Amino acid sequence: MGQLFIPVICIGVVVCGGVNSLMTKYQDNQCVRDCQGASPVYFNQPVLQTLQMFIGEMSMLALWWFQLRGTGRQQHEFDNKPLIKGRSYVLLALPAICDIIATTLMNLALVMIPVSIYQMVRGAIVFFVALFSVLFLGRQVCRLEWAYLATIVAGVAVVGYSGQSADTVSEQSFSSSLLVGVLLILFALLFMATQFIVEEHVMSRWAVSPVGLIGHEGLFGSSITVALLVVGNYMGGYRDVNSTFNMKQAFSDMFARPAVLNSSFVIMVSIALFNFFGVSITKNVSATSRSTVDTCRTLLVWCVSLSLGWESFKFTQLCGFALLVIGTLLFNNAIEIPDKYLPSYFLEDKSGESQRLINTIDEEVERF
């Protein structure tokens, strides 16, 4: 079993991550009202989808509790830092708030755009985290890493452009929705990057395991999201049947069809397993390997989306995806270009493996 453990957790990251994205899009495609009428209404509850993600993350608290039992509750510190406890846990509400905004915006964007483009554009998170790490955490990013990050951004730009060709009125409408969806994702990534900065600050002062961090953010995120739903409902959401803060209608839509309710359960389980497998890869292999393996998730999502007929094949999108993969693999050092083939300009500040940015940011980035 030991020889199979690493392949199993790698496959788990790809499958569970892919299932999470695909099932969320599947949920968006379910008709919940007036299905036989002229204007069918499809499931469009981004806040409720954010809540189900947090519930999935909150389940990681069970694993964290077992970890505490294994290491002993009397341990007061590790890595020369005190264990986070008591009121200090409240600080984890700050990244949870960033997570709420980012996830809700991305769930809203997923309604507007194909799931493959959604998954590919999310790859730009590495760029935003790198930028924020330099601005707020004083990280050093060498010129070669910036070049690889530029390749990733170029891939995202090409992927976004791939959906902009339009001839008919309906295609032009789709093209406008796609542009808005891509912009929403990019805006959401700013909050994701901010979330990383706050998490990095917390983890630099206190000893907190990644599983504990995810679980407590899920707890705070669930609590805050429920509070927002309640407040939004009583401040006027109940008056508009199409409002995402109309709690009665939101839960009515969720229970309207078994497919919607069942997909919610699958989404919660898949996000919990995705986090578990991802943390296991980081612990047993490396953060770089985790990020590289997760790249396959985007390919899986794209292939399944094409096979289901949710979107059509576009060569431009393939080129953008190729740039994304190449940039990610180079940034992760999965593919290494010998120094003799690189301009001297990129070698002047080239850092060693232990100082590479991916080893610092990957634990926070790849759990989304």
Residue 157 has, within 13 A of its CA and on its CB side, a CA count of: 7
Query: By CB neighbour count within 10 A (0-12 exposed, 13-18 middle, 19+ buried), where does 264 fall?
Result: buried
Token digits of residue 176:
């406008």
Residue 188: inside a domain, yes or no? Answer: yes
Distance CA 105, CA 314 (A): 26
Residue 274 lies in a domain: yes
pLDDT exceeds 50 at position 156: yes
pLDDT tens-digit profile of 265-324?
Answer: 999 999 988 878 877 776 666 555 666 676 778 888 999 999 998 888 889 999 998 998
d(CA 193, CA 98): 9
Contact 211, 63 (CB under 8 A): yes
pTM for this model (two decimals): 0.81
Structural domain includes residue 185: yes
- Predicted local confidence at residue 337, as pLDDT: 84
Q: Does 87 have pLDDT greater than 90?
A: no
Is there a domain that residue 71 lies in? Answer: yes
Structural domain includes residue 92: yes
pLDDT at position 212: 81
Average pLDDT over residues 329-342: 80
Domain count, the chain: 1
Do the domain assignments include residue 131?
Answer: yes
Question: Is 59 contained in some domain?
Answer: yes
- Whole-number Cα distances in Å, 275 to 40, 61, 282, 318: 35, 12, 11, 28
For residue 189, what are its two tokens? Answer: 């990534």
Range(s) of the domain holding residue 33: 2-139+166-285
Domain assignment present for residue 359? The answer is no
